[in-house]
Structure 1
Amino acid sequence: MPYSAEEWPIAAALLQFSATDSQGRHVNDADASHWHRVFTEVRDAGFRDVDLTDGWVKPGDLSAARLDEFKRTARDVGLGMPSLSAIRRSVIDTEHGEDNLAYSHRTLEAAAELGCEVVSVGLHQALTPEQQKQLWFWTVEGHKDPTGDRDTWNLAVKRLQELGRRAEELGLLMSLEMYEDTYLGTADSAVALVEDIGLPNVGLNPDIGNLIRLHRPIEPWQQMMEKTLPYANYWHVKNYSRDEDVARDQYIAMPAPLEFGLISYRKAFEIALAHGFQGVICTEHYGGDGLSVSNTNQRYLREQILPRTSDYELGQSRVRQGGKR
């Protein structure tokens, strides 16, 4: 049976949590009590599930003993871990691609050990020094994948296929996060990439919030959704207010709760369900009390958007979906 609103897995992103503790140690090396505090904060904010965003703990770099300790800590707090998002570790980075590929393999292994359903990866790379100086890093252009370079495209396909096959062996879905100026930076390119990879457990994370926030012309959001949602198997959801003055070539965007931004998630989920989407949802928000806004987004989805009961008509996805745990 399809998910109803109440039982749908909606996980909190961990964007607001630092990768170092109060002693200046990376949180991978912190005492388990530090992990416990973060997990408790997420639970007390209103979440049953957490997305293991690796800007915080990097599960793929934990020893077997520490990974088990990490798993027990989340279980003790009462949080599920249905998803893991590995960010800014592009497998086609010209300098770090092979290392990132090895890291991605370790991350898949760790995710399977933790009982995750899906791992999200992408082709976006580390923020540039200039991006790090900005209030909103997306207002300055960062790395760009080379346009029209078939060798680099084919390398992306080859390495993501390798990861996808390993994910399949581990019983995991793999999802490719959309992000500007990469081969996942437009709806058409993202669909072409997932089709070239051609594995049933590899789909898209249609995080078009990463695209509508850009201070430049963009493809209409509904058009992007209609192209990508047939391939979606996991979903980072966030929203932005956006203003355009095309005559002056001026574009402004700022973070907004789901129900107040440019994207109508009511329409987006209508499209998603028509194409069989049953993936884990991860709520994100940049700025302010992002965790609380993420929970506001969760409540909006459960109370206003997702189907109240499971007896609705569900369309057919072009990739494999998750299921009730």
Structure 2
Amino acid sequence: MQFAFHLHALRHHWQRSMPSSIELERDLRRIRDAGFDGVDVSDSWPFDDFTVENAHTVRCAAESLGLRIPTVSCMGKTLCHPELAERNARAVEAAFAVAERLGAGIVNLALSIPRTPGVTPVMGATHSPGGSRGATDADFDQTAERLRTLAQRAADCGLSLSIELHDRSLADTSASLLRLLNATGAPNVGANPDLCNGYRAYDTPPETWREALSTLAPRMNLWHVNNLQRVHFPELQRSAFVERPLSDGDVDYSLALRQVREAGFDGWVVIEYKGVGDAFATLRAGRAYLSACAADAALETA
């Protein structure tokens, strides 16, 4: 496995939506020195800014330090919303050009309803906006049809797609994500079992993280990892979630890593952090923790 740093975590460290050349070099050097193999670029760093020249600058800066840019991530890209679907599909196609310019091989796709600025997203409730519980067969059919088109265009660019397990999306459970994969039927489309996204979708998780991973591990081509602690308020039918370091939340990643290794996954792992503390320190500690877990797993199978 190779480990990538989720650059979205550093967005508050930059003066603007994209880093200056000084900020970029500083942060990439720190990421390299922390033992990461690459970085993930998401569209919180506006993809409109990735002209051929700018992308070349970013790619050269990373490669000069021995870092790769294996993945780009598209967030909030529902493909069945009546007002957003077509625009989102075009945005995903634009991301293919960004991925090519950066030398990435995988475009990660979260099929979620985008968050409304200034409005707290609904998580940990009995109903999830855009979620699979309230979806119709037509929602799944429209999404699969658009995914088939996007998969072909991605293949033409030499790219793979990864569908992220995500709250506020049709793919908010392992069963609904697997349904989309099977309906799409494209060999270059796989799963990204971001376990905490599924965990936080509803007040009571419909499956354990181990069950979700067992279903999706055979189909995964990317893995986003982060951790949460769930606090359930049954009298309110709500759950709250506290961001935690990888080693301290409700998902046991030492067990999860063994599970995906046994399923044959040996691809890129993107370490995420969504809290408001020191993102760099948290991701650096997560990298060290996963390295120790991987070493233990290797000893067990030796």
Q: Give the alignment's TM-score, normalised by structure 2.
A: 0.86
> How far 1:39 moved relative to its partner?
2.6
Q: Which residue is 2:184 aligned to?
A: 197
Q: Give unpaired runs (5+ residues) of structure 1.
A: 1-7, 314-325
Q: Which residue is 1:293 aligned to?
A: 282
Q: In the TM superposition, what are the counterparts of 1:22-101 in structure 2 within 5 Å?
A: 22=15, 26-27=17-18, 31-58=20-47, 61-101=49-89
Deviations 1:298-324 (Å, cap 9, x if unpaired)?
1111112356759969xxxxxxxxxxx
Q: Distance in 2 between matches of 1:20 and 1:237?
A: 21
> How far 1:152 moved relative to its partner?
2.4
> How far 1:19 moved relative to its partner?
7.9
> How far 1:89 moved relative to its partner?
2.6
Q: Distance in 2 between matches of 1:303 and 1:62?
A: 36
Pair 1:131 & 2:119 matched:
yes
> How far 1:292 moved relative to its partner?
1.6
> How far 1:255 moved relative to its partner?
1.0
> How far 1:273 moved relative to its partner?
1.8
Deviations 1:50-106 (Å, cap 9, x if unpaired)?
111221242x65222222222222223442111111111333332232222122112
Q: Which residue is 1:164 aligned to?
A: 151
Aligned-CA RMSD value: 2.9
Q: In the TM superposition, what are the counterparts of 1:201-240 in structure 2 within 5 Å?
A: 201-214=188-201, 216-218=203-205, 219-240=207-228
Deviations 1:264-308 (Å, cap 9, x if unpaired)?
112212221222112210001122112221121111111123567
Q: Give unpaired runs (5+ residues) of structure 2.
A: none
Q: Distance in 2 between matches of 1:238 and 1:229?
A: 17
Q: Which residue is 2:294 aligned to?
A: 305
The letter of the residue matching 1:14 is L
The letter of the residue matching 2:130 is K
Q: Which residue is 1:323 aligned to?
A: none
Q: Which residue is 2:6 aligned to?
A: 13
Closer/same/farther in 2, CA of residues 308 and 189 from structure 1, 3 Å limit: closer
SS at match of 2:250: coil
The letter of the residue matching 1:85 is S
Q: Distance in 2 between matches of 1:88 and 1:249?
A: 26
Deviations 1:168-211 (Å, cap 9, x if unpaired)?
22222210011123210111111111111111221111002113
Closer/same/farther in 2, CA of residues 87 and 50 from structure 1, 3 Å limit: same
SS at match of 2:40: strand
The letter of the residue matching 1:263 is V
Alignment size in residue pairs: 298
Residue 167 of structure 2 contacts residue 200 of structure 2 at CA under 8 Å; is this kept in 1?
no
Q: Give the alignment's TM-score, normalised by structure 1.
A: 0.81
Residue 6 of structure 2 contacts residue 270 of structure 2 at CA under 8 Å; is this kept in 1?
yes
Closer/same/farther in 2, CA of residues 252 and 106 from structure 1, 3 Å limit: closer
> How far 1:120 moved relative to its partner?
0.4
Q: Distance in 2 between matches of 1:54 and 1:44?
A: 25
Sequence identity percentage: 25
Q: Distance in 2 between matches of 1:148 and 1:82?
A: 32
Q: Distance in 2 between matches of 1:224 and 1:99?
A: 30
Determine which structure has the larger helix proportion and give its number: 2
